[in-house]
Amino acid sequence: MPLLLLVAGSAAVAGAARRTPVPAPLLLVAAGLAVSYIPGVPGYTLDPKIVLPLLLPPLLYTSAIDSSYLDLRAQLRPVALLSVGYVLFATFAVGWAAYLIVPGLPLTAALVLGAVVAPPDAVAATAVARRVGLPSRITTILQGESLLNDATAITAYKVALAAAVGEGATWAGGVEEFLVAAFGGVGVGLVLMAPLHWLRTHLKEALLQNTLSLLIPFAAYAVAEQVHASGVLAVVTVALYLGHRAWEVDFATRLQEEAVWKMVAFVLESAVFALIGLQLPIVLGGLDEYAGAQAAWYAVAVFLVVVAARFVWVYPAAFLPRLLFRSVREREENPTWRGAMVTAWAGMRGVVSLAIAFSIPVTVHGGGPFPQRNLLLFLTFTTVIGTLVVQGLTLPPMIRALKFPGPDAQAATLAEANAQAQASLAAERLLEELLADERNTLPPPLADRLRAVLERRRNAVWERLGQTNPVTGESVDDTYRRLSRDMIAAERAVFVRLRDGRYIDDEMLRLLLRRLDLEEAAAFREAA
């Protein structure tokens, strides 16, 4: 019952957020904070044994499969500087600052805190990027960072934790563990991606293909973790490959898969942000030993260090490589101070940081308590809330104030029209060759219908560049699509009336409606 209430409540808040200018993650966190004070609300403990293997893989998968492998490859250097370099820098910067600020906190425990709060959250970054419409290069860099940085942070956390609990970790051992996790995770992904894609293309039923799709992120993560590699990198590697080759899967699978993963992402993202807010009673429950003002000072100080450390890293990382290396100047477009500003400010933390924090053991080797564990949980929680609220609320107006140049709609439409023209020409040539074969003989009306479909697809995009209706402001093509959807709606109403009158049965109705749904989906996609 508590799980049902969590999913239903978070989905309702997320749905309501779509009608407001406030990003859904912020409303969900605020709702979780508010609900946590209501008497009788069940406790929702953020169990790392559930979050990391059960929630993180599908969230990473759905984000990675929608990402562009080619765009990420083109931005690999800045993505690597953020997802690896920045996370390690933030681990040491925040850890050292916490060591100096909090009396009695050992450096090893402080580095544990640094690793926990180092990675910006994949869910938060993607959710905000979708809402504010960032330029494509910045969006690619932020998404790429958020996909890969969890692997760096989790590995850094394991090394710092080993030192904190007395397992005798060394720098050499930490570097070795990081390399094994990174290359092992990518290696597992490379091994799994081709067989999984082969299965996707050879299963004949869309239902089976989408069942496989739901299992893939969990399988990739579990296999990698079993061999002590990075499950995060394994999931991302597989998802990028499958997304890049998605065109080889049949259309029914793609239609279903898109709908399924949108639903999964919506439910999980909503529940994850609500869970963050619901952790407040658990986190505050262990702070009895700290005075309120003292704990608040620690929280503000750590939050400021987290924010400042990102600025300290992002600006040199954006501009110094161009000054030092000619190859970077020739290969990459010139970064701007506005882009660096947004990248530095878009550092929201999320559920991964909290899940890692809750996995900090209660005791160290020898049976003693882990140094100031409750305070580390509190500082992680306040950092996550602070970044989500402060940066999440101010990022959209910051982007609007910086006035990034919008995409060139005319150029994009022209490129689409040229691509469609080339594709239609190739299809027309093949059609004439096929119709010339007597095995493919069709009555003239049907052959003309195939030609007309190709001609309509080719002309549709060009018409968006032409004149608009003086009354409605629509292009001829937009009016055509609108009328087409209206006619489909009329047909659908007739089919339902015939079913209700028992002239056709429900199975026939579903078949007829599916055909109309596919036509309407195609019209909607063309109009979007």
Structure tokens at 516: 């109309």
Contact criterion met (CB below 8 Å) for 513 and 499: no
| Percent of the chain whose pLDDT exceeds 90 | 23
Domain contains 102 = yes
Task: Based on the fold, state whether residues 197 and 226 are members of the same structural domain.
Answer: yes
CA dist., res. 122 & res. 118, Å (int): 12
- Buried/exposed 429-465: b ≥16 CB within 10 Å, e otherwise: eebeeeeeeeeeeeeeeebeeeeeebeebbbbbbbbe
Task: Based on the fold, state whether residues 153 and 53 are members of the same structural domain.
Answer: yes
Contact criterion met (CB below 8 Å) for 476 and 456: no
Angstrom CA distances, 38 to 32, 41, 280, 301, 490, stand at 10, 6, 12, 30, 49
Domain contains 212 = yes
Query: What is the full DSSP assignment across 41-103?
Result: PPP----HHHIIIIIHHHHHHHHHHTS-HHHHHHTHHHHHIIIIIIHHHHHHHHHHHHHHHST
SS3 528: coil
Dump pLDDT digits (tens) for 205-217: 888 888 999 999 9
Dump pLDDT digits (tens) for 410-431: 666 677 667 777 777 888 888 7
Domain holding 83, by residue range, is 2-402
Kindly indicate the confidence band of residue 138, based on its pLDDT and cuts at 50, 70 and 90. confident
SS3 37: coil
Contact criterion met (CB below 8 Å) for 301 and 386: no
Mean pLDDT of 264-290: 81
Which is nearest to 44 in space by CA: 61, 32, 56? Answer: 32
Contact criterion met (CB below 8 Å) for 295 and 378: yes
Higher pLDDT among residues 22 and 272, named by residue: 272
Any long-range contacts for 51-54 (C-beta under 8 Å, 24+ apart)? Answer: 51/351, 51/352, 51/354, 51/355, 52/352, 52/355, 52/356, 52/359, 53/218, 53/221, 53/222, 53/225, 53/231, 54/218
- Which residue among 466, 487, 510 closes a domain? 466
Structure tokens at 43: 């406790």
Higher pLDDT among residues 502 and 123, named by residue: 502
Task: Based on the fold, state whether residues 40 and 135 are members of the same structural domain.
Answer: yes
Domain contains 20 = yes
Kindly indicate the confidence band of residue 460, based on its pLDDT and cuts at 50, 70 and 90. low
| DSSP 8-state class, residue 475 | B
Contact criterion met (CB below 8 Å) for 302 and 383: yes
Domain contains 503 = no
Q: What are the backbone angles phi and psi of residue 516, rounded to the nearest 5°?
A: -65, -40
349: CB partners within 8 A, 6+ apart: 117, 119, 120, 121, 124, 306, 383, 384, 387, 388
Contact criterion met (CB below 8 Å) for 180 and 228: yes
Task: Based on the fold, state whether residues 282 and 417 are members of the same structural domain.
Answer: no
Kindly indicate the confidence band of residue 484, based on its pLDDT and cuts at 50, 70 and 90. confident
Task: Based on the fold, state whether residues 451 and 308 are members of the same structural domain.
Answer: no
The CATH number of residue 311's host domain is: 1.20.1530.20
Which is nearest to 62 in space by CA: 246, 286, 279, 236? Answer: 236
Task: Based on the fold, state whether residues 207 and 343 are members of the same structural domain.
Answer: yes
Domain contains 506 = no
Q: Give the number of C-alpha atoms closer than 13 A to the C-alpha of residue 56, restricted to the C-beta side.
A: 33
Which is nearest to 377 in space by CA: 154, 55, 46, 141? Answer: 46
Task: Based on the fold, state whether residues 393 and 427 are members of the same structural domain.
Answer: no
Domain contains 521 = no
Mean pLDDT of 73-88: 91
- Which residue among 371, 402, 433 closes a domain? 402
Task: Based on the fold, state whether residues 314 and 378 are members of the same structural domain.
Answer: yes
Number of neighbours of residue 145 by Cβ within 10 angstroms: 27
CA dist., res. 149 & res. 139, Å (int): 15
- Which residue among 450, 466, 482 closes a domain? 466
Dump pLDDT digits (tens) for 167-180: 656 666 777 888 88
Task: Based on the fold, state whether residues 109 and 161 are members of the same structural domain.
Answer: yes
Which is nearest to 460 in space by CA: 408, 520, 528, 527? Answer: 527
- What is residue 95's predicted lDDT score, i.e. its pLDDT? 95
Higher pLDDT among residues 57 and 128, named by residue: 57
CA dist., res. 124 & res. 384, Å (int): 10
Domain contains 477 = no
Mean pLDDT of 371-378: 88
Query: For residue 468, what are the β-bridge partners?
Result: 475
| Percent of the chain whose pLDDT exceeds 70 | 88
Burial class (CB in 10 A: 0-12, 13-18, 19+), 126: buried
Domain contains 67 = yes
Mean pLDDT of 484-490: 81
User: Would the pLDDT of 99 be above 70?
Assistant: yes
| DSSP 8-state class, residue 119 | S
User: Would the pLDDT of 365 be above 60?
Assistant: yes
Instruction: Give the pTM.
Output: 0.83
Kindly indicate the confidence band of residue 88, based on its pLDDT and cuts at 50, 70 and 90. very high
Task: Based on the fold, state whether residues 438 and 295 are members of the same structural domain.
Answer: no
Task: Based on the fold, state whether residues 300 and 436 are members of the same structural domain.
Answer: no
What's at 347, amino acid-wise? G
Give a three-class secondary structure readout of 481-518: HHHHHHHHHHHHHHHHHHHHCCCCCHHHHHHHHHHHHH
Task: Based on the fold, state whether residues 216 and 164 are members of the same structural domain.
Answer: yes
- What is residue 437's predicted lDDT score, i.e. its pLDDT? 77
- What is residue 68's predicted lDDT score, i.e. its pLDDT? 82
Mean pLDDT of 59-85: 88
Domain count of the chain? 2
Higher pLDDT among residues 8 and 97, named by residue: 97
